[in-house]
Amino acid sequence: MSKIVYASGGAEPQPTEALERRIANLIRHYLRTRSPAIAQSVVRHIEQLCSHPGFEGDARARCAYLRLRTHWRWLAQNATPARETA
């Protein structure tokens, strides 16, 4: 039986509030860097949040997160890094 490894790198799930904060921080970081790796991390964290046993969002909230996941997957595949400005 394989052990689940969460986006945090540990074997225990993070609280949903921590995941939501991490997603927000990753999005802000992506806006500065346009990094495909950061976009992919957003995807992983959204998936972790939606599958979390403590996720208390209703169907609308889950659907919104899953639409966001689709958008971030697209960004992960099509992002071009931000150019440095002097």
Q: What letter would DSSP give residue 11?
A: S
Residue 3 domain-assigned? Answer: no
Residue 28 domain-assigned? Answer: yes
pLDDT of residue 3: 39
pLDDT of residue 77: 95
CA pair distance 35, 64, nearest whole angstrom: 23
Give the residue numbers spanning the domain of 71: 16-78
Residue 32 domain-assigned? Answer: yes
Residue 27 domain-assigned? Answer: yes
Provide the whole-model pTM: 0.78
pLDDT tens-digit series, residues 14-62: 789 999 999 999 999 999 999 999 999 999 999 999 999 999 989 999 9
Kindly list the distances between the CA atom of residue 12 and the CA atoms of 3, 6, 19, 55, in Å, as whole numbers in the listed order: 10, 7, 13, 15
pLDDT class for 79, splitting at 50, 70, 90?
confident
Instruction: Count up the domains in the chain and report the number.
Output: 1
pLDDT of residue 13: 60
